[in-house]
Amino acid sequence: MDEFIFWSRRRGYKSRCEICGREANDISAALKVCATCVRERFTEARPYLAAAHARIRREHGLPPHPPQDKEGFKCNDCGNECRIPPGEKGFCGLVENSGEKLVRRFGTPERGLLSWYYDPLPTNCVPADFCAGSSGAGYPKWCRTPRGDIGYYNLSIFLGSCTYNCLFCQNYSFHELTAAGSPTISAAQLAERADERVGCACYFGGDPSSQMPFVIASAEMMLEKARREGRILRVCLETNLSMNRSSLERFTELSLGSGGGVKADLKCWSSEILYALSGIEHRRAYENFSWLARRHRERPEVPLARASTLLVPGYVDDEEIRALASFIADLDPTIPYSLLAFHPLYHMEDMPFTRREDAERYLRICREEGLEKVRIGNPWLLA
C-alpha cells in the first residue's frame, strides 16, 4: 500500500467512493467503492473492483481472474472451475495446462505445498470452544481428559495456496509459498509428523480447497497410523469451502469418524460483496455448507459443522450478518458461529478495526435470527 495513504488513514483520513462521492474511513482505498454502491450499483462498481483484484494478482504472478478459455482444459477441483488455456495456470497457481493435459504441480499425495508446526493444546483456533481437543467435548471418546488433550499438540498444517483473492487476508504469507513452490512434503512424510504427541491435525492456509488430493491422502494415512497404534487423533479443516463436493464428502467422513470438524469461513452473504472482497463470483461455499449442515447432527457431542465470518468494517455490515445468520439458522441453529474482529492487514491495511459496538450488535442480530451458539471469537481486537 502507498505509504502516504497508510499513515494518513491512521490519522483519520477518509477515502472517497468513486461512484457516490461519500467519504468515510471504512471505504477501502484499494477498492475505491463503498459497500452500498457495490450492492446497489454493481455494474458501475465492477470495473473498480476488477482492477483492484487484477493489480494484486499480477503482483503475485497469478491469473487476474479464474480463466474461462473456451478451448482450455477444465479443472473441476474447486468452484472456480477454471478453463485453462495452453501453457497457462489456473487461479490457484498450482494446476497448469501443459498443452496436452492438465498437470497438478502441487497438492498431490506426492507433493504438498505447505509449512507445518506443533501448536500446544488447547489452541487458539477459531472453533476452540467447541472442539474436543481444546474444550473436552466428547470425552472420553474423542479426547483424553474432560478439559481436552492437555499436554498434547495440534499438528498445524498451513497450505501454501488458495482459491480466493481476499483483499483482507489474515494469512497472506501463503503467497510466498505459491511463488517459491516450496517447501514441499509428501502425504506419507506429513503423516509421520502426527506421532504419539499429537491429538489433532488441522489443515488451514491459504486454503485447503486448493490442495484437497494431498489433504485427503495425508489425513487418511495419519488416521490409519493412529488406529494401528490405538490412539485418538482428530482431523479438522478450516476452509473457504470452495472445493468440489466429492472432496468435501471424503474429508467429512474422516473428520466425522475421528472427532474433528469442518470450519467454514463464510466471507459474507451477497454475491456483490463477495466479489468485492475476494474476487470470486460462484456460490460453491454456500452450497457445500448446506450439504455439510445435513451431517451436523450425526455427532452432536462434538459439532461437525462450524462457521466464522471476519467483520470487515463497512463491507460486512448488518445486512450481510443478518443474511448469513438466517442462512445458518435455517440449516441448523445449533451450528457454532464465530464473529471475528477485523485486524487491518494486506490490501486493507488502511481500514479501521472492528468497533465493539458493531460486533455486539451483530451478536444480537445472530441471536435474533435463531442461532444458539454464536460468539465473538477474538474480542481483544475490538476497537
Residue-range domains of the chain with CATH: 3-59 (no CATH), 63-105 (no CATH), 112-381 (3.20.20.70)
Q: What are the Cα distances from residue 118, in Å, to 152, 159, 221, 285, 304?
A: 9, 15, 18, 29, 23
* Cell of residue 281, nine digits: 463470483
Instruction: Please give the model's pTM, rounded to 2 decimal places.
Output: 0.95
CA distances from 213 to 108, 113, 244, 246, 355 (A): 5, 12, 11, 11, 40
Q: Which parts are annotated binding residues for [4Fe-4S] cluster? A: 162, 166, 169
pLDDT, averaged across the chain: 95
Q: What string of pLDDT tens digits covers the 383 residues of the chain?
A: 444 444 444 445 789 999 999 999 999 999 999 999 999 999 999 999 999 999 999 999 999 999 999 999 999 999 999 999 999 999 999 999 998 899 999 999 999 999 999 999 988 788 888 889 999 999 999 999 999 999 999 999 999 999 999 999 999 999 999 999 999 999 999 999 999 999 999 999 999 999 999 999 999 999 999 999 999 999 999 999 999 999 999 999 999 999 999 999 999 999 999 999 999 999 999 999 999 999 999 999 999 999 999 999 999 999 999 999 999 999 999 999 999 999 999 999 999 999 999 999 999 999 999 999 999 999 999 99
Is-contact 236 203, C-beta < 8 A?
yes
Q: What is the CA radius of gyration of the chain?
A: 21
Q: For every residue of 302-329, which 3-state class applies, written as one string?
A: CCCEEEEEEECCCCCCHHHHHHHHHHHH
Residue stretches of the annotated binding site: 162, 166, 169
What pLDDT is stored for residue 5 in this prediction? 44
Which residues sit opposite 341 in a β-bridge?
A: 311
pLDDT value for 8: 42
pLDDT digits (tens, 9 = 90+) for 76-118: 999 999 999 999 999 999 999 998 899 999 999 999 999 999 9
DSSP E strands in the chain: the ranges are 15-16, 23-24, 73-74, 83-84, 95-97, 102-104, 112-120, 153-159, 184-185, 198-205, 234-239, 262-265, 305-311, 337-341, 374-376
